[in-house]
Each structure stands twice: as C-alpha cells, then as structure tokens.
Amino acid sequence: MNYDVAVIGAGVTGGLTAAALARYRLGVCIVEAGADVALGATKANSAIVHGGYDPVPETLKAKLNVKGAAMMADLCRRLDVHYKNNGSMVVAFDEEQLEHVKMLYERGKTNGVPEISVITGDEARRLEPALSKNVVGALLCKSSGIVCPYDLTIAAVGNAMDNGTDLVCNFRVTSISDDGEFYTLRSEGGDEIKAKYIVNAAGLGSDEVARLYGDDYHLVAKKGEYMLLDKSEGGLVSRTIFQTPTKAGKGILVTPTVDGNLLVGPTSEKTERDDKTTTLEGLDTIKAKASLSVDGINYRAVITSFAGLRSSFEESEDFVLEISKHSPRAVNAIGIDSPGLSSSPAIAEYIVNLLKDAGLGLEENPEYVGTRISCKHFRTLSDAEKNEMIKNDPSYGRVICRCETVTEGEILSAIRQNPKATTTDGIKRRTRAGMGRCQAGFCTPFVTELIAKELGIAENQVTKTGGGSRLLLGKRK
Amino acid sequence: MKKCDIAIIGGGPAGMAAAVSAYDNGVKNILIIERDEGLGGILRQCIHNGFGLHRFGEELTGPEYADRYKKMVLEREIPYIVKTMVLGIEQGENGRHTVTAMNSESGVFTIDAGAVVLAMGCRERSRGQLNIPGERPAGVYTAGTAQRFINIKGEMPGKNVVILGSGDIGLIMARRMTLEGANVKVVCELMPYSGGLNRNIVQCLNDFDIPLRLSHTVSKIHGKERVEGVTVSEVDEHLRVIPEKSEYIECDTLLLSCGLLPENELTKGAGIELDRVTGGATVNQNRRTEQTGVYSCGNVLHVHDLVDYVSEEAELAGKSAAEFVKAGCKEPEYVRRLAVIATGGVRYTVPQRVDVTENPDDIKIYFRVGAVMENVRVRVSCGEKELLLQKKRKVAPGEMEFVRIKGEQLTECDGDITVEIVK
C-alpha cells in the first residue's frame, strides 16, 4: 500500500506524531519492529513529566520540555489517559548541592517553567514528611507531573488508528530506497511499505534507520534499572523526589506512579542495545541511594524490578529533530532521551511542522475524532455507572486480575480496541491485569485463555510479548 | 442489600469448614462468597494425594478433600455464591459489617453481615518480589501457576525445568512435571534446609533422582523471549551469592516455590493490623482479629503445611463467629488479655493473644521455629511459672508445631505467655 507518511517506531514519539498527523487528510502508517507498541525506551522509564528546569536554555530540550509539559494535561484528558500533576522536588544534602539547586531554579526561570521556588529543608519536610533529615533545601516545582508512558502511547496510537492510521507490527525496517516520490521500506521478512514521507522515530534504532538513507548518527544505549513497590507503599511521598545531579550522575528518584505504586530508580550505565537485564549491583545501588533522600522505603514490598534503555548521544546533549540532510522527505527524531516523554506532545507538533516544511500538504480532516476512551475506563466509574455497564455486558462483572481488580470486560476491550492487544504483556500494559502484587500468578491462565479465544488460536500459541516468547510449550501427556 | 448472619470470604477449605462449623453451632443464615467458578479453592488443582490423613484418617487427593467439605456445605444447604469478588469490608451499625462485592449477575452490591470470617487464602511469592536479576522472558512461573496450567488446562508450561525453592508446591511440581515427561534438572534452595515436608522430599525428589541443592539460588535469568537458562549460585552464610561458585544451567522454564504470602488486602482495607511475621491478622484463641466480629482462618491467617490444620482452625473460627452472632453480635465477657510472645527460636505463634474468660477452655498454640533444631524442648511459661515443657526430637521451619495449654492453667496466668525453644 502507498502512504503519505510512514512513521517508523511506535514509541511515544512515533505514537504522538501519528496522533498529531491524524488531524489531516493523510494516509499514515506506523511501522513497528516489535510485536506491540511502546516496547522500547517508552516501556521502561521514570514516567515523569518534568517541569523543564534541567535542560540548558535555548536547546530544543528546554523549549520542547516546557511546551510539552504544558500540553500534557489536555492531551491526556482527550485520550483518557491518567495524568497527575503531583509536583516534584530536587533535594540538596549540602551547601554545594544547594548552589546547584539554585542554578536549576535560575535555569527554570529562563526556560519559562511555571511555579518553581527554592525552599528550605524544613519546608520540604513539611510538604513531604518522609524526606530525610539530611535534606537542607530543595527546588520545588509545582508544574511537573506523572503519566504512564505506555498508556499514553497506546492511547495515541489507538486514537490515530481510530482515525484511519494503519499499524504494522513485527516490521523491522532493513532497507529504505527512494524513487524521488516514494520511499520503499523493506522488512527483514521481505515485506514492503511505500510512503512519500518518513518520520524516523525508531528510538534506539533511529541511528541505524537514518543510515539507511545516508544520515550518520551514533547512539549509545544507557540502561536504567528500577524497582516498583506495592500500592501499599505508594503514599510514602506524594511528589517526585529527585536528588541533585552531581558529577557522578543524576541520582536516584523516588516517586509515586499514576497507578498508586512507588517507583525507585534509575541507575545509569552504558550498555549493549539489547541488554535489559537487571543486576544485583544495580538493585543494591538503587536501594542504597534512594534511602538517602527518603526514609522508610519498605523494600520487602518490591513487587518487580525492570530495566529500560535510553537512546542517548555520546557527545551532543540535545534532541535531533530535523529534515534529513541527505534525504529531503525524511524527518529525523534521534536521541530522544530524557525529557523525551515530557516533551513528546511538543515533539509531535514539531515533527508535523518539519513535514510541512519538507513539502507535506496538511489539509484538515473534517471527520477527525480527537478523543478516545480507554479500556481501563470502567475502573473510573461510580458504582451505579459500573452496574449499568455490567447489565449491558456481564463480562464487566467478572474479575480476572484480583490484585488490580481488572474485569474480563476490560481485557476483552483491550483485545478488541485499537491498537489490539495480542500478548499477555499487551494485556498487562493496557489493563494492568498481571501488574499487581502477585505479578500475574493467578490471572495468567485466564488471560491466556481469553487471548486464545478472541484471536482464534491455541492457548499454547499465546506469547508473552511476541516472537518466541511462548508461554506454554505443548499439551500435557 | 443482602443480609446474613455470617459472611465468609472465600470458599476454599478454610471457608467451607468455617461455614459447616458455624452452621453446626446453630447459625443457619450464612453466605460463602467465592471468586472462582466453584467451591474448593486451590485444592481443585492439587490432584496429588496426601490430604486428609489427620482429618479423615485416609489419604485423599485435593479435589477429593474439597469434595468432602463441599458435600457437607450442600447437605446443610448453606448458601454460597461463586464468581464473585469481594471488594471491601467496613464496620457497620450495631457491631455489624458491610461487605461490598461484585459479580456479573448483580454488579456491585453490598451485604449486611453480623460476623465476617476471612478465608481468602494466600498467594505465591513472585519473581519480582524475590528480585532475581536478569532478563524478563516467558517461562518464569510460580509453582502454583504451573500447576494450574498442567492440572486444570492440560498444558505444559515447560520441558526443561529448574525449580527455585523447596516449598511443598515446588516439590510436588517437580514430581508432577517429571511424570508428564519434563526434565526437572535441579531444585535449588536458598536456605541450608528445605522448606517443605520431609515426606515430599522423599516422594517427589529422591524417588525421581532429582537433585536438591541446599544453600543455592538462581542469581540470573537468561533468555530474551523464552527462558534459555539460569545461573545457579551457591550462597554464603549471609545468603549472599558467591559469584565464583556459579554455574549456568540450560532450561526453558524456571519454577518458583519460594514461600506463600497471606492475601490480606481486604483485611488491611478493613483497618485490621497485620502481624509482621505471619502476614496475617493477629488473633485471639477464637481466631478473632483485632476487630469485633471479624474472624480469620486458614492460609490468610498464617501459612499452614497441611490442609487438615486449615480445616481445624476454620472450624474454630466458624464456631466463634456463630457464638458471636448468637450472643446478639457481642463478644464473650473477657476478664484478662494475655499476649503470647514468640521468642528463643520461635518465629511466631497463632494465636498471638489469649482473651481469658471466667472459665476458659483448653487452647492450642501453634508455632513455627526459625531454624532446624534437634533434641530440644518447647517451653511455655507465664512469668516465673512454667506451663509446659515438652521434648521435641526435631523441629524445622517447614513443619508447624503446637502445644496444648489447659483452661485452668490460663486462669492462673496474669501476664504474657512466652513460647520458646530451650535445650
């Protein structure tokens, strides 16, 4: 099929770009190497909408972070994604760090970050009683927030698809040729997709994709390990607590998540591009460092640990968002590391403008629908509304995941709704079934059965996350 | 709003036994609320034998044991609802309770109950809680999940298996998977002793030549999509991995049998404090929690090794709930409260307190020790007074112990009761 635009990569950058393009009368296709959306850097990061005081003024990071953060609440409302404006603190443990905090304050002011101030240690502890007594001062940012990055991406891709965008998963782009009007994207498997314009939002693979049309970038993978704690611990802090960045690194944050868990991490370590392993040392480092800023973190309540990869440039600090120097209808989004999630709504807008500069015609689509209802919507309803829904569809009355109270109705909706879940991890990220304290011990057999039934496949063909990740290896004797 | 005298949360062995006992003690208006499709709880997937030796004097399979109790429930026509999830428990008027639940038929609804018996069971410790480093491929299962796949669904979760943890379910699954043609390469146990029953080590490992490596753990999981192998490492006396003593073992599946955790989210939601060691509510000798009219029994109270003990405890809780209801939702008149303190090698006791009446009944104090000890004595005392000194040839963390204290002895107690192991 021939498209106007092919977006390579269904992470938060690609997903939001596709959603932004959905406003226009265009044929758009998202091409994704994995079995589902949001499997790369988007899947595992700190899930923070930063205020924007970190990036150096005048950089793309500074501009797009502040702008993106301001757009986030509205975007999330439109896409039925849970966003919480919980605020954040950067805590200092000594005078030197306090100087750095004051520098961040000045930087924030220059960048146009709203609602920031420098407060004393006691003021900080009044707001967050669990803060360590060693905190001597902090930067308080009321405008920052938290959002679930894959929730946002799933919703954005779903909204784009509802408006006619195609999503092709399991399509790893291995060659790109250009006949002057159309690019031809070829996959490992020999499939082809043609598009007049391409957006390279391939995350950690974006330098390799760029090389296919002559651009030379070199990314490094930086691994960040995290620990997620039970919802019983989610109330330890209400704001995101950062440590002051030092020469040794950015420090470990402690934050509630939108779903009510407590998240601590990340480490930061250069690694291989496919290395998402957690390590004993990494997890020990997190424990030791997180406990510096917040007292009483109950590590017995850790329910899972994971690692994510950031795609960073070794030399340059800033995002690369530009029309390719070698290929005039290709737009690069390369090196989108932190604050990539915070910036993503503004990055998407920026990319659309670059496409326009490259010659793409943008005609409003009169049938465009800007909203989407999440399969998780059920849990937000009142009892009376829930009962109305259960009356119409009894599957909403049957709880499948007991830890997170996820019903069969929500799971079926996740399988049927764009972008359709086809794996147990896909169900987990869309509905939270399996995301709770038992970590899918009880619900895996039920979720597997629902996927098999809906997709019309055998249960032992169901995978955790596509490819060879089969859950079951055959029938019993 | 539905109304009943006793709401029983959970229709597994504990819930059914509590219901039968409450009924036989004179309260008929009972409601069992079960989340699965039928009564029986986890026993439905435990198709091995070894159940019921104490209770029925014969060896039954899990489903057979469950059916015995199910029959008793049906004979008494005790009402039960299935596929129903309890969402919350709150204290209501006049010592009563409001239970909120949800199912497909009635949506979200409430039940006004005189007494509540908590019988929700437990869950298994997961990979995430164990913090096993490495990748996150498919093929890492808790033993119970694997058991459900094999026994209920007829599907094999794996072919080449390493098992971490020598808890009973892990041992049972080592045998089960071997019988189904899988190659169980090794069972690793972090501690220097097994957490399972001795009979299971003999019948499930030794009889099938499956090696058990004590003081070993899985220090890394390998495999991007499906498990490809695990690193097995010896641990030192502080349970820390010794990197030099590590070995890569190829496998497609890692089963975890590393302990069970009482599932007390509802209990916490009801504002009831939990015992840090058991993970269950703290109870008195009647299995009453800190909250009037709320009782707890079975694996939600503390993890048992034998279902026979679960039934016994549930009968006590059911009887207590019935007496509470019959007294017009009132507790008996207690004259004294004695704390039961676990010390000197004893990790915990159930009950954690004794509420003494004018004419106290005999009580049983269950306990678990923290390490394997041989030729020791259990000493129960109150201040200077020794209530009991009992010889034990061997005590182990994997085997629950109990002692009996006579009612008349309790009458004489006026301080904390201490349970300890002495030489």
The pLDDT tens digits of the residues spanning A276-325 come to 999 999 999 999 999 999 999 999 999 999 999 999 998 788 999 999 99
CB A54 within 8 A of CB A104: yes
Mean pLDDT of chain B: 96
Smallest Cα–Cα separation from B82: which of B126, B164, B16?
B16
Q: Searching chain B, which residue's CA lies closest to the CA of residue A391?
A: B107
Q: What is the mean pLDDT of residues B194-203?
A: 90
Q: Is the preceding peptide bond at B211 cis, omega within 30 degrees of 0?
A: no
Chain A stretch 295-324, residues whose beta carbon is closer than 8 A to a beta carbon of chain B: 302-306
Q: Searching chain A, which residue's CA lies closest to the CA of residue B255?
A: A441
The rounded distance, in Å, linking the Cα atoms of A23 and A407 is 33
Q: Is the pLDDT of residue B356 over 70?
A: yes
What pLDDT is stored for residue B224 in this prediction?
94
DSSP 3-state of B218: strand
Q: How far is A39 from chain B (nearest CA, A)?
A: 13
Q: Where does residue B131 rank: exposed (0-12), middle (13-18), buried (19+ CB within 10 A)? A: middle
The rounded distance, in Å, linking the Cα atoms of A363 and A255 is 42
Q: Where does the pLDDT of residue B94 fall: very low under 50, low under 70, confident under 90, or very high at 90 and above?
A: confident
Domain boundaries, chain B: 1-122+260-332, 126-258, 334-423
CB B322 within 8 A of CB B7: no
CB B292 within 8 A of CB B331: yes
Domains B1-122+260-332 and B126-258 are alike in CATH topology:
yes
Residues of A with a catalytic annotation lie at: 50
Smallest Cα–Cα separation from B253: which of B383, B129, B162, B363?
B162
Q: Is the preceding peptide bond at A256 cis, omega within 30 degrees of 0?
A: no
Q: Where does residue B348 rank: exposed (0-12), middle (13-18), buried (19+ CB within 10 A)? A: buried
What pLDDT is stored for residue A248 in this prediction?
65
The pLDDT tens digits of the residues spanning B167-183 come to 899 999 999 999 999 99
Q: Where does the pLDDT of residue B166 fall: very low under 50, low under 70, confident under 90, or very high at 90 and above?
A: very high
What pLDDT is stored for residue A249 in this prediction?
67
Among left, alpha and beta (phi > 0; psi -120 to 50; other), residue B271 is: left
Q: Is the pLDDT of residue A399 over 80?
A: yes
Cα separation values, A396 from B111, B147, B294, B366, Å = 20, 27, 29, 42
Chain B stretch 137-156, residues whose beta carbon is closer than 8 A to a beta carbon of chain A: 137-139, 141-142, 144-145, 148-150, 152-156
Among left, alpha and beta (phi > 0; psi -120 to 50; other), residue A462 is: beta
Q: What is the mean pLDDT of residues B371-390?
A: 94
Identity of the residue in A278, A397, A472 whose CB atom sits nearest the CB atom of B156: A472
The rounded distance, in Å, linking the Cα atoms of A410 and A375 is 5
High-pLDDT (> 70) share of chain A, %: 100
- Write out chain B residues lying below 8 Å of A441, CB-based: 123-124, 126, 141-142, 144-145
- Write out chain B residues lying below 8 Å of A228, CB-based: 128
Contact B128 A303 (CB under 8 A): yes
DSSP class of residue A463 equals B
Q: Is the preceding peptide bond at A149 cis, omega within 30 degrees of 0?
A: no
Contact B85 A399 (CB under 8 A): yes
Q: Which domains does chain A have, with CATH numbers?
A: 1-82+147-218+314-372 (3.50.50.60), 88-142+220-310 (3.30.9.10), 375-461 (1.10.10)
Chain A stretch 212-271, residues whose beta carbon is closer than 8 A to a beta carbon of chain B: 227-228, 232
The rounded distance, in Å, linking the Cα atoms of B302 and A143 is 46
Is B120 in CB contact (< 8 Å) with chain A? Answer: no
What pLDDT is stored for residue A316 in this prediction?
82
Chains A–B, number of C-beta pairs less than 8 Å apart: 143
Q: Judge if ipTM > 0.90.
A: yes
Q: Searching chain A, which residue's CA lies closest to the CA of residue B35?
A: A399
- How many Cα atoms are found within 13 Å in the side-chain-facing hemisphere of A248? 8
The pLDDT tens digits of the residues spanning B12-32 come to 999 999 999 999 999 999 999
Q: Which fold has domain B1-122+260-332?
A: FAD/NAD(P)-binding domain (3.50.50)
Position with higher pLDDT, A118 vs B1: A118
- Write out chain A residues lying below 8 Å of B105, CB-based: 394, 397
Q: Is the pLDDT of residue A470 over 70?
A: yes
Q: Where does the pLDDT of residue A229 fall: very low under 50, low under 70, confident under 90, or very high at 90 and above?
A: very high
The pLDDT tens digits of the residues spanning B208-246 come to 999 999 999 999 999 999 999 999 999 999 999 999 999
b/e burial code for range B211-246 (CB count within 10 A of at least 16 → b): ebeebbbbbbbbbbbbbbbbbbbbbeeeeebeeeee
Mean pLDDT of chain A: 96
Q: Does domain B126-258 sit in CATH 3.50.50.60?
A: yes
| Cα-to-chain-centroid distance, residue B6 | 22
The pLDDT tens digits of the residues spanning A4-37 come to 999 999 999 999 999 999 999 999 999 999 999 9
* Phi (first) and psi of residue B246, to 5 degrees: -125, 155
Please give the single-letter amino acid code of residue B395: V
Q: Is the preceding peptide bond at A345 cis, omega within 30 degrees of 0?
A: no
Identity of the residue in A277, A279, A303 whose CB atom sits nearest the CB atom of B129: A303
